[in-house]
Amino acid sequence: MAGPATRGLLATALPLIGKRVASGLLTLLLVSMVVFFIAQLLPGDMAQELLGQAATADAVAALREKFGLDRPAPERYLRWLVGMVTGDPGYSLVANMAVSDVIAARLPNSLLLAALSALVSVPVALTIGILSAMHRDARLDRGLNVATLSMVALPEFLVATLAVLVFSVQLRWLPSIALIPADASPWLVLRSLAMPILTLSVIVIAQMARMTRAAIIQQLSQPYVEMALLKGIKPARVVLTHVLPNAIGPIVNAMALSLSYLLGGAIIVETIFNYPGLASLMVNAVTSRDMPLLQACAMIFCTAYLLLVLIADTVAILANPRLRNR
């Protein structure tokens, strides 16, 4: 039984997943065009910017030639795209380093923060979402509803400043600046990351919990749930064995959206806590108009987002028998 079922699963799910991968790649390509061509709107160019207003036309032209800026836009786009794909997204004139080196120093920090926050927020969000869906319209649900509703609307800097005020100014438990020395022990790392993690979690937990609740409630109104109750199955069991398998698709999708926020949306949190992540790097790139760096960061975030969505789609396909075997 397992044999043919598994083979059937692969045979029918793979083309579907393949289609999603292809569509994701196409979207990524289009995104790269948008990112590249928006940057072209900038008046003046890198050479001009670098040499300043006083530079002679010859010097500017020479520099342009050196960086290939004199070539037509489509050609520059292609070069840039090939560079992105091969891991060489260009040269940051502001940092005077290869963009890849600048990013390599920051990316692990971002991933660490995102991973730890996900570890905290996903279980909490799932629990809240399931609990309030099961007690739909009861006092617990209404309370949680108002709470999560308010939490999603809070500005990050309010959460972060409150956290600092409470935990480092008043209680003096945690450091307010998330600078991690190179030789820090895991405990010290956790301590210094505690507040950024807390702030990020507060924001994504609310989002994820709301979407989880919505996905489950949408299923709870289906006739098969009533049928299960009329078969004498207890409500908690109905949710676990009947509803969750059907709600998995939308729930993972919600997770993907929220997790992508942990990477790119962490801008303000990273700034407040002086955390050397990718998002605050991107803010610096905006301030200094460091276009190659900015474009590379944007592409990383978009790729991460599309990757997460792709994973969510794959899970949804695998969880849905209608999609995987006809």
Partner 1 sequence: MTNAIRSWVKALSGSGRLGLVLVVFWLLIASIGPFLAPYDPGAFVAHDVFAGFTGAHPLGSDYLGRDVLSRLLSGARYSVGLALAAALLASLAGITLALLTAVSPRWLDEGISRFMDTLISIPSKIFSLVLVAVVGSSLPLLLLVASITYMPGSFRIARSLAVNLAQMDYVQVARCRGEGAAYIAIREILPNMIHPMLADFGLRFVFIVLLLSGLSFLGLGVQPPDADLGSLVRENISGLGEAAPAILMPAIAIATLTVGVNLLIDALTGRGRRMAGKE
Partner 2 sequence: MNNHVEVRGLCVKAGTTTIVEDVGFSIPRGEVLALIGESGSGKTTIAMALMGYARLGCRIAGGSVRVGDTDVLSLDEDGLAALRGDRVSYIAQSAAASFNPSRRIMDQVVEPAVNHGRLDRKAAEAKAVTLFRSLALPNPESIGERYPHQLSGGQLQRLMAAMALITGPELVILDEPTTALDVTTQIEVLRAFKQAVRDQGATAVYVSHDLAVVAQMADAIVVLNKGRIRENGAAAQVLERPADEYTRTLMAAARPERAAVDAPKATAAPLLEIKGLNAAYGTTPILRDINLTIARGATLGVIGESGSGKSTLARVIAGMLPPSAGSIRFDGAGLPPSLSMRSREQFRRIQLVFQNADTALNPAHCVGEIIGRPLAFYHGLKGAAATRRVAELLDLIKLPASLAERPCGGLSGGQKQRINLARALAAKPDLIMCDEVTSALDTVVGAAILDLLADLKRELGLAYLFISHDIGTVRAIADDIMVLYAGTQVETGRRQGYHGVARHPYTDLLIGSVPELRPGWLEEQGDRPAPPAIGQPKDGADLCRFLPRCSWRVGGTCEEFTPPRHRTPGGNIILCHRPEGASEGAS
Q: Among the candidate windows 50-58, 61-69, 95-103, 317-325, which touches partner 2 by CB under 8 A?
A: 317-325
- The correct pick among 46, 99, 228, 304 for binding partner 2 (CB under 8 A) is 228
The one among 223, 258, 263, 286 contacting partner 2 by CB under 8 A: 223
The answer to whether 320 contacts partner 2 (rule: CB under 8 A) is yes
Q: Which residue has the tokens 């605050």?
A: 280
Tokens of 208: 């994820």
The residue among 9 and 124 lying less far from partner 2, judged by its C-beta, is: 9
Nearer to partner 1, 193 or 281 (CB): 281
Considering the rule CB under 8 A, would residue 1 count as an interface residue with partner 2? yes
For residue 121, give both structure tokens.
């927020």
- Structure tokens of 57? 């036309």
Binding track, positions 102-121, relative to partner 2; x by CB under 8 A: --------------------
97, containing H or E segment: strand 97-98
Residue 15 CB partners (closer than 8 Å, separation 6+) = none
- CA geometry: angle at 255 spanning 284 and 122, to 5°? 95
Distance CA 186, CA 22 (A): 40
Q: How far apart are CA 206 and CA 199, in angstroms?
A: 12
- What are the b/e assignments for 258-291, b being 16+ CB within 10 Å? bbbbbbbbbbbbbbbbebbbbbbbbebbeeeebb
Query: Quick check: helix, strand or coil at residue 142?
Result: helix
CB of 5 to partner 2, least distance (A): 8
Examine residue 119 and tell whether it contacts partner 1 (CB under 8 A). Answer: no
Can residue 227 be called a binding residue for partner 2 (CB under 8 A)? yes
Question: Identity (one letter) of the amino acid at 144?
Answer: L
Neighbours of 144 (CB within 10 A): 21
Side-chain half-sphere exposure of 313, counting CA atoms within 13 A: 18
Q: Record the tokens describing residue 105, joined without a space.
A: 């120093």
Q: How many residues in the shown chain lie near partner 2 by CB under 8 A? A: 22
Q: Which of 48, 145, 161, 246 binds partner 2 (CB under 8 A)?
A: 246
Q: Which stretch binds partner 1 (CB under 8 A): 113-121, 232-240, 278-286, 314-322?
A: 278-286
Which of 130, 120, 320 shows the shortest CA–CA distance to 220?
Answer: 130
Binding mask 142-161 for partner 1 (x = CB under 8 A): ---xx--xx-xxxxxxx--x
Question: Does 285 engage in binding with partner 1 (CB under 8 A)?
Answer: yes
x/- track of binding to partner 1 for residues 233-272 (CB under 8 A): ---------------------------xx--xx-xx--xx
- Judged by the rule CB under 8 A, the positions of this chain that interact with partner 2 are 1, 222-224, 226-234, 242, 245-246, 319-322, 325-326
In the complex, the residues that contact partner 1 under the rule CB under 8 A are 27-28, 30-31, 34-35, 38-39, 41-42, 145-146, 149-150, 152-158, 161-162, 164-165, 169-170, 176, 260-261, 264-265, 267-268, 271-272, 282-283, 285-287, 289, 291, 294-295, 297-298, 301-302, 305-306, 309
